[in-house]
Structure 1
Amino acid sequence: MRTGMRRTTAAATAGLLLLTGAVPHASAQPSSSSSAAVKPNSVPPDLPPNTGPPVDKGGPDVKYERTNKGCVESDTKSELIKQKPWGQVQLNLEQAHRFATGKGIKIAIIDTGVDPRNPRFGDRVKAGGEYVFGDKNGLDDCDGHGTEVAGVAAAAKTEGDFVGAAPEAEIMAIRQTSDRFEFKGDAANPEKRDSAGKVSTLAMAIVRAANQNAKVINISLTNCGTPKGFSADDQSLQAAIKYAVDVKNVVIVTAAGNLSDKGAGCPKQNDNLDPANVNSISSPAWFANDVLSVASIARSGAVSSFSVWGPWVSIAAPGEEIISVDPKGTGLTNANVTAQGTTDIKGTSFASPYVAGITALVRQRFPDLNARQVMNRLKATALNPGNVSGKDNKVGYGMINPVAALTAVLPAEAKGFQKPEPKEMNTTVTPPPGIDWPPIIVALSGIGLGVALLMLTLFVRNSVNRRRKDA
C-alpha cells in the first residue's frame, strides 16, 4: 500500500550534509582542505593530546535562506499501516520491552529537526538546538527526515502494531541540516552551499547534546567522499566525539553511509582487497573507536546493497522496508512521495535509530555501565558473522540482538575481571617417525609361536582321538 508523505517539489540534489536515508537527496559537508600526517586511510589520525571540544556557538555559522523547495506534506490521511514492520519482528522488540522501555533516557536526534505533533511522541520531544534557521530549536522539520528517524528510535505504540525501539525515551531535537535552505555566499564567506549543514556545526551539535545530558546521540548523517586530507573541521568533530564519550558518558550511534553513483552518497564501495586503503571514507562513522557505526540489513538477512562497507562498521540493523511516523500527520508512513514518484523509506539512516533506541534500553537497564561498556555489550551480544574474528567489514559484529543485550551475563563487566593476555604458540611441522621394526618383529614372532603351539595342540589331540577309535 502507498501511505507516505508528499513532497511538493522534486527531490533535492547535492547539499551540504548527506542524509543517509532514502529521502532521495544527499550531499557532502564542506570542510577546509588543510591536511595532516595520516595513517592508512581507513584509520583517522590520532587526536593531539589535550585537544578540547569545540565551543558551541548555539547557531548556524552563516545566514541561511529558504529555497523554493516546499516542505513535506502528509499523504497518509491518518490511515494505519496494518502490517507490523519486519524489522520490529526481527529484533523481537516486544520481548525486549519486558526488560526496558528507555524511560528516563534522553536520545538526541541530530538531523533535520523533529516535528513533535505526531501523537506517538506524546510530550516527549524537547527542543534541543538550532543550526539552520529560526528560533524553534529543532522543533521544525521541513524535510521530514529527522521526524521519521525519531519515530524509529522512540515512537510509542498507539493504534496498530508499530512501535519504536525505545517507546518511553525522551527525544532531544537538534536541527543541524536541511535541504530546504541554502547559503548564496557573501563578502565575508564566498562559499556557496546548496543546503544547510557543515562539519563544524555537527561538532557543535554533539557538544550541545552532551552538555544537555543526552545519554544517546543518533546521527543519521554522513560526510562521505574519497580519501582526502584531515581538515581542521574533521579534527573538531573528532574532539567533540571524544568529549561526548569520555567526559560526558554519551553513546554516539551513527549511520554507516549509503552507496550512490548520483552524487548523493558515498562514491564507491569499499570492496578493496586491502581494507587499510579504502575507496570511500564515511564520517563520523570513520571514528570507529568512539562511535557505533550501523550498517543496513535486508529482510533476507543479507547486507543491503546500498550499505557502505568499511573497517569502521560496528554493528547492523534493519534498514529496508521501514515504517515510521508520518512527519506531518498523525498516522504512519512507509514511503516518501515526491514530484518524481514514490520511494520506499530505507537507508542506513533508519538502521541507526534502531540501534540508538536499543542503546537507550541498555542504558536504562544497566545504569552503572559507562558509554564504552554499553558499546561493548551491544557488540558482544550481536549475532556475529560466522568467521574466525566474529566481525567483518560489511556488518561489523553482526545484527544487533536486543534481548541478548538486555539479559546476557558478560564476564568482562564483572569487577576485577582481567582479560587474559594472548600467549604466543610456537609450533613446528615435523615428518612422521620412521617404522620401528624391533617391536614389530617381537610381536610377529609371538604371533607365530602362538600359531605353532595351537597347531601342535590340534595335532596331538587328533592323534589321540584316532588311536582311541582304532582300539
Structure 2
Amino acid sequence: MAVGHRFGPARRTTTALLAGTIGLLTPLAVALPGWAQTAPADGYFATPPPVDMSKLIPDSGQPDKKYKQSKGCVQRAVLGQTVVLKNRPWGQDYLQISKAQEIVKAATPDHSAGGGVKVAVVDTGVTPHPWFQDRIKSGGEYVATPSKAQPGLEDCDGHGTEVAGIIAGKPDNPEVGFVGVAPDATIVSYRQLSENYEPDTSTSTPPASNTASGTPSSSTNPPSGTESSLPPSGNGGGGSGSGDGDRTSPGQTNGGRQLEKAGTAGTLKTLAEIIRGIADRKAADVINMSVDNCRPATGSITEGEQQVQAAVHYAASVGIVIVAAAGNATDTCPQNDQPDARKPKTIVTPPWFADDVLSVGAIDETGSVAPFSVHGPWVGVAAPGTQITSLDPAEGSPGLANLTFESGDKASPIQGTSFAAPYVAGLAALVKAKFPQLDGKGIVNRIKQTAQHPAAPGGRDNFVGYGVIDPVAALTQSLPSEVGNQAPIPGPQMAQLPPANDHSSTPMIVALAGTGGGLVALLITLFVMRTIRRNRPAETGPGR
C-alpha cells in the first residue's frame, strides 16, 4: 500500500494538469457566437449576433434615394452574322437537369417542370426575353422612377436577365440545348441595384418617358456622350455574348453585383424592404439574390445588415426559400484563406445569415471549387459558376449569350457565384413542385442532405458547404425526417467490463522484469555457446 500512496499525489497532479489543459483548449475547440465573445485585437467572427426583429422595416415600394443613369445599357452586338448556340452548357449535363425535369413532369398533374412556382429575382431587373413567354411578372422598381407600366422589367446592366434565364429560360428553338432549371416556373422581377446608375445630387426632376407613344425608356437611351464609348453586347443569335455599358467592372468580371458600392444604386435597406414585402404579400415561393454586400470582418454588425437579417428571418419563418450567391473574391473583397474559418477576413451579406439563407458557392467545369468563390462557414451548397450560357439580356434580343465584355472590346466568359445561385433557386422550384407539402426549411434541408457531400467532418466544409447539389437525388431520395421514420435513438448500454484494478502494479512490474532478465540471460548463453563452437578446432577423421 505504501507504493500506492506514493503514486497517489502524482496521479492527482496529472489529473489537475490535464483538467487545466482542457480548460485552456476549450475556448479554441468550441465556436462561440461572435456576439458572445470579447473580440481580441485581431479577432473577427463568422457567426452573426442574434436576430433583432425590431430592425424589420416595412416595404416602401420605391428607391431609397434619387438615382440617375450614368452609363449606357447593355446592347446587342453587331458582328455581321448571327450565331446560334446549340450545345448544352456543361452545368446542365453535370447536374443532369434534363433527367430532373423528367422526374418532376412525371410526378405533377400538369406535367410541367416548376409550373405554378414563383421565383423572385432580386437583381438588376429582368428584360422580358421572348423565351420567358408570359412567365415574367413585375415585382418592383427600387432604382429609377418607374418608366414602364411594369416596374422591374428593365435590365440596364444585363445581370438579372442572365440570372433569371438560368432559373426559368425556355427556348422555343428545338435545336438549342440550353434550358432553365425550372423552365415552367414564373419569374417575379425586382430591380434593386444597378452599376449603371448613381446617386443624383441635382435638384432637377428628370422628364418622364412616354412609353405610350413608343419612346424608349430612360434606361434604354443612355445619357448624351456615353453611347460612343460602349462596347457591343451579345448579338441576337447568341454568338458573341453580352456586356454592360461600363465595359464591365471588376465585380462583373466574376459575375457579381455589389451593394453599397460607391457611385452605384442599391443598398442593404432596399434589399431588406423587398424581402419583407415579398413575405407580406406571399409574392414568391423562392427568392434568388445574386447580390452581395462584402466588407472587412470587424466582429460587429451594421444597421443595414441587421435590417436584412431581420427580413430574411421573417421571410424564412413564413416558408420562403431564400437563396443567395456566396460572393466573389476581388481586390475589394478578399478571399477568406486564413487558418481559422471562424475569424474570416471578409463578411458577405446576405450569406452571413446562414440560419435563414442558403448561400451558394461556385465550382468550375472540372468539378473543383472556382477560385473566385468566397469561402466561409456560411456556405451552404455549390453549383456550376463558370462558362455560363443564358438568355441575352439586351433589349429586343431573341437569343443567348455566353460572353461578357471585360474591358474595351475584350470578351470573356460569363462566370461568378451569381450564376451558381440560380441553379439552386431553380432546383428549389422543382422540389417545391414535386413536394408541395414542404415548407422553405424542408426544401432547403432536402437540397442540403442530398448534395454530394465533401470528405470533411460532418459532411460539409467552408468551400462547397454540404456539397455540389444533386437535383436527381433531391427529387427522388426518401429522407427519414420527412416521413417520420427517424432511426430510433439507442438506449444507454452498461459496459460489461471487469472492475478496474486499483492495487499496486509492483508485482506485475517485478514479474515482467524477471521474465525479461531470464530472456536476456538465455540469449547471452546461446551467443557464447555458438562462439565456442565456431572457434573449436576441427577433429581429424581416420585415414588422414
TM superposition score category, shorter chain reference: 0.7 to 0.9
Is it true that 1:104 corresponds to 2:175 in the alignment? Answer: no
Q: Distance in 2 between matches of 1:423 and 1:292?
A: 36
The one-letter code matched in structure 2 to 1:293 is: S
Partner of residue 143 from structure 2, selected from 114, 125, 132 = 132
Is it true that 1:334 corresponds to 2:402 in the alignment? Answer: yes
- Alpha carbon RMSD of aligned pairs, Å? 2.8
Please name the residue that 1:167 is paired with. Answer: 183
Partner of residue 421 from structure 2, selected from 340, 348, 352 = 352
Please name the residue that 1:27 is paired with. Answer: none
Q: Distance in 1 between matches of 2:202 and 2:493?
A: 62
SS in 2 for 1:221: coil
SS in 1 for 2:457: coil
Q: Kindly report which structure 2 residues correspond to 1:316-327, keeping only aligned pairs within 5 A, or say none.
A: 316-327=382-393
Is it true that 1:66 corresponds to 2:69 in the alignment? Answer: yes
Is it true that 1:246 corresponds to 2:312 in the alignment? Answer: no
Deviation, 1:225, is 1.5
TM-score normalised per structure 2: 0.67
Deviation, 1:56, is 0.3
Deviation, 1:38, is 6.0
Please name the residue that 2:83 is paired with. Answer: 79
Q: Distance in 1 between matches of 2:153 and 2:46?
A: 36
Partner of residue 90 from structure 1, selected from 69, 88, 94 = 94
Is it true that 1:158 corresponds to 2:227 in the alignment? Answer: no
Q: Distance in 1 between matches of 2:92 and 2:381?
A: 17
Q: Distance in 2 between matches of 1:103 and 1:298?
A: 30
Deviation, 1:82, is 2.1
Taking only the aligned residue pairs, the percentage that are identical comes to 45
Please name the residue that 2:352 is paired with. Answer: 286
Asked whether the equivalents of residues 149 and 349 of structure 1 are also in contact (C-alpha less than 8 Å), the reply is yes
SS in 2 for 1:62: coil
Query: Which string of whole-angstrom CA distances, capped at 9 and with x for unpartnered residues, describes residues 101-154 of structure 1?
Result: 1110000000000001x2211011100001000224110100000000000111
Query: Which string of whole-angstrom CA distances, capped at 9 and with x for unpartnered residues, describes residues 379-407 of structure 1?
Result: 00001102332100000011000010000
Compared CA separation, residues 194 and 98, structure 1 to 2 (3 A): same
Q: Distance in 1 between matches of 2:408 and 2:343?
A: 40
SS in 2 for 1:108: strand
Q: Distance in 1 between matches of 2:492 and 2:161?
A: 50
Partner of residue 440 from structure 2, selected from 371, 386, 390 = 371
SS in 2 for 1:94: helix
Query: Which string of whole-angstrom CA distances, capped at 9 and with x for unpartnered residues, describes residues 12-43 of structure 1?
Result: xxxxxxxxxxxxxxxxxxxxxxxx95656101
The one-letter code matched in structure 2 to 1:334 is: N
Compared CA separation, residues 227 and 60, structure 1 to 2 (3 A): same
In structure 1, the gaps of 5 or more residues are 1-35, 438-471
Deviates more, 1:281-290 or 1:337-346: 337-346
Q: Distance in 2 between matches of 1:424 and 1:86?
A: 51
The one-letter code matched in structure 1 to 2:126 is: V
Query: Which string of whole-angstrom CA distances, capped at 9 and with x for unpartnered residues, describes residues 290-342 of structure 1?
Result: 11100000111100010000000000000000000111111111001353521
SS in 1 for 2:189: strand
Asked whether the equivalents of residues 138 and 152 of structure 2 are also in contact (C-alpha less than 8 Å), the reply is yes
Compared CA separation, residues 129 and 391, structure 1 to 2 (3 A): same
Asked whether the equivalents of residues 132 and 197 of structure 1 are also in contact (C-alpha less than 8 Å), the reply is yes
Asked whether the equivalents of residues 78 and 331 of structure 1 are also in contact (C-alpha less than 8 Å), the reply is no
TM-score normalised per structure 1: 0.77
Q: Distance in 1 between matches of 2:155 and 2:400?
A: 16
The one-letter code matched in structure 2 to 1:305 is: P
Please name the residue that 2:24 is paired with. Answer: none
Q: Distance in 2 between matches of 1:423 and 1:414?
A: 26
